[in-house]
Structure formats: structure tokens, C-alpha cells
Amino acid sequence: MKVKNDCIFFKGDIPCKPHKESGVHCDSCKFYQPITKRILIIKTGAAGDVIRTTPILYKIRKEFPEAEINWLTKYPIFVPKKFVTNIIIWNLENIIWLQTQQFDILYNFDKDRETIALAETIKAKYKKGYLMDEFGKCKSADIDAENKWLTGIYDDISLKNKKSYPEEIFEICGFSFKKEKYILELPDSQIEFNLPKNNNIIGFNTGCGTRWQARLWGKDNWIELAEMLASNGYFPLLLGGPEEDELNKEIQKNSPAKYFGYFKLEDFVHLTNRCHLIVTSVTMAMHIAIALEKKIVLFNNIFNKNEFELYGLGEILQPEGKDCLGCYKNFCEEKCMSTISPDIVYTTIQKLLK
């Protein structure tokens, strides 16, 4: 019996999809698709970075329509199954397996020690993105990745950058960015959220993670904005995870904003999808909102605003009269975010939802 292990459907240890559905064997299978190229993408995290890397799949799949595309990640929920052959979860077992494999192209978009070390050990004809130098530190794999690599090690070069993150990812791969959008497949969710159908729902993503606390807008600002929106027929909805739970409960207690609590990622995506507009700083929720093509008001102070591709969905609001934007500070003594008033945010929301 002939076994065609070069078929894109072949598993090796369990029945393939065509066999399960049609009972066919390899020697007489009309679904046989030989693998012409094997491609590995390494983008493990953070969650938002995984989402904003997905536009590259349009180009890779177009360039290599019959390739086996593998994606190594810590956030499989955000890797689209319709574009990727195998979603590989970051764990020891899979790392050991990958180190025995041969790929045609390896794209590594991560700079962490563990990912550049793994990229060095995996066999591939061509390697793009980031690799490891002789001192165990990150280096660009070739000239295509050099610009993005330099923006990560020199603040002044980063501040002068005019390219968005998706544009830089395309450049790393040797492609041109044509405004390809984020790809996000809605995961399954069992929760039904009781939300109004006749009001514009405005999502308040109040947190910013634990690393860059300088991005926080402040409890009183959220309360004031909620009051302005509710009094004009909007429905303010608080979003966040366990780190924002206490803050969101406090805002709900002192404002008309609604808070359902925090949820696992699948349910958070569905709750975000119920919103018409999201107000947020630079977070995972921002990237989810862009992927879902929601209107967005984006707070930014410590990053280069050119990094963000909003696809015409919203506006970026930054502190006024500050020459220190793009500081990458974890904490800000000047509380620069306080210069963005609720009035400005409310006006921007009205304009975007007109």
C-alpha cells in the first residue's frame, strides 16, 4: 500500500481529514495535495503582536499557495486557521520536534533570547527576521530586517520611524505592504451578553498592562466620559482583565458605565465585537478592535504614533504641548495623559460615529 506522506493532509499518526470524511486511501485519493514548500512563522507573543502580524499571511499564502504554513505561538486563538496549515503551541515538546525539521523558509518576528536561539537551531534554506549573534544577542537575519532591528536598539531612530508595524513586517519578509488588514477568526463563546440593541455601545478598555503604567488615563476621566456619553444616549461598557477588575468596579460604582466582569480571551473577543467603538490605550484590546474593524479612539503617549495602522478606523489622541512623546517610560512623573480631556474624547467619538 502506497502512503503519500508528502500530502498536506497526511498526519502520520492519526487518520487524515479526507480519509475520515470519505474513507479514501493514499493510493486512490483525489484530495492529494503535495507540499511544495514548508514555511515556519515564529511569532509567539505578545497577544496583540500576534494579531497585528496576521496581515503577512495574505502575502505569504498568495506567493506560496500550495505551501505548508506553520505558525509557532503562545496565543493560538489569534492565528487564523484558514490561512495556516498547522498552529504549533510554544512548549518543550514542540520545540524538540521543530529542531529536527527542515523548512524552506523560516520567518522569525520575535527578538527574545529563546526564539532567536530556536531560530538558529532549526534547519531552513532561507531565514528572515531575527537570529542570534555570537554573543547570544539578537541580530537581523539580513538587510530586510535591519531597519526594524535598529528601531529597537536606538530610541532616536525609533522616533524618526515613519512606517507602521505591518509595513515593517512586510519589509522584513521582502514584500511591499498594500494595506492588508488584520485577520481574526471569531472563536467560540458560550456567554450571551445582555446589551442594548438601539444604543451605540462604547467600550472603555481602561487598563494598559503592568509594564507601561504611563499609559493610564485615570479613573476620574473615565467616570466623566461615561457620564457625558450616557446623558447623550450612548452605552458605556467597561472592558478589561483581572488587572483592571478593581478599577472597573470603582468606575461602575461612580458612573453610568456597565461592567460585566472579566472573562477568558474567547469571551473577551465576543464582548469587544458587540461594541461600536473602543476607547483604549495601546493594548491587546486595541488590536482586537482593529481586527474586528471597530471604530477606535486610541490614546498614545510613549510610543511613536506612526507604528500604528488604524486602517482609517479611528484617531490617535496624544498629550498636547509635550515634546517628550515616544519616551517609552514605564511611569510618567508629569502625568501627561491627564492633558487629554474627556471633552476631547467625547468630541472624537461623536465625529467617528457620525
152-169 pLDDT tens trace? 999 889 989 999 999 999
- Are residues 319 and 240 both part of a single domain? yes
Q: What is the CA radius of gyration of the chain?
A: 23
**CA distance linking residue 143 with residue 172, whole number of Å:** 8
Residue 155 lies in a domain: no
Whether 122 and 53 map to the same domain: the answer is yes
Q: Can you tell me the distance from the alpha carbon of 210 to that of 228, in angstroms, rounded to the nearest whole number? A: 29
How many separate domains does the chain show? 3
Report the pLDDT value the prediction gives residue 175, as an integer from 0 to 100.
98
- The answer on 333 and 206 residing in a single domain is yes
Q: Write out the residue range of the structural domain in which residue 16 sits.
A: 1-28
Residues of the chain with pLDDT under 50: 212
The burial of 100, by beta-carbon neighbours within 10 Å (0-12 exposed, 13-18 middle, 19 or more buried), is given as exposed
Digit-coded pLDDT (tens) for 247-283: 999 999 999 999 999 999 999 999 999 999 999 998 9
For residue 258, what pLDDT is reported?
Answer: 97
Q: Are 75 and 134 found together in one domain?
A: yes
Does residue 323 lie in a domain region? Answer: yes
Q: Is the dihedral of CA 39, 44, 46, 51 positive or negative?
A: positive
pLDDT at 330: 59
Same domain, 212 and 340: yes
Q: Are residues 226 and 329 in the same domain?
A: yes
In a domain, 314, yes or no: yes
State residue 208's pLDDT score.
Answer: 66
Based on the domain organization, do 206 and 306 belong to the same domain? Answer: yes
Q: What is the pTM of this model?
A: 0.91
Burial 130-158 (b: 16+ CB within 10 A, else e): bbbeeeeebbbbeebbeebbebeeeeeeb
Is 226 inside a domain boundary? Answer: yes
Based on the fold, state whether residues 126 and 42 are members of the same structural domain: yes
Single out the residue of 90, 92, 88 nearest to residue 103, CA to CA: 88
pLDDT at 190: 83
Our CA angle for 76, 49, 104, nearest 5°, is: 70
Domain contains 163? no
**Domain-located, residue 7:** yes
pLDDT for 49 equals 96
Angle at which helix 56-63 crosses helix 165-173, to 10 degrees, equals: 20
How far does CA 294 lie from the centroid of its chain? 15
Q: What is the pLDDT of residue 301?
A: 81
234, part of any domain: yes
At a CB cut-off of 8 Å and minimum separation 6, what does 322 contact? 301, 334, 336, 339
Does residue 162 lie in a domain region? no
What pLDDT sits at residue 244? 92
Q: Do 214 and 84 lie in a common domain?
A: no
What is the spatial order of strands in the sheet that 295-299 belongs to? Answer: 258-259, 235-239, 201-205, 277-280, 295-299, 314-317
pLDDT at position 339: 81
Residue 13, phi then psi, degrees to nearest 5: -125, -15
Same domain, 348 and 225: yes
Name every residue whose Cβ is closer than 8 Å to that of residue 153 and which is 6 or more positions away in sequence. none
User: In CATH, what number is assigned to the domain containing residue 48?
Assistant: 3.40.50.2000
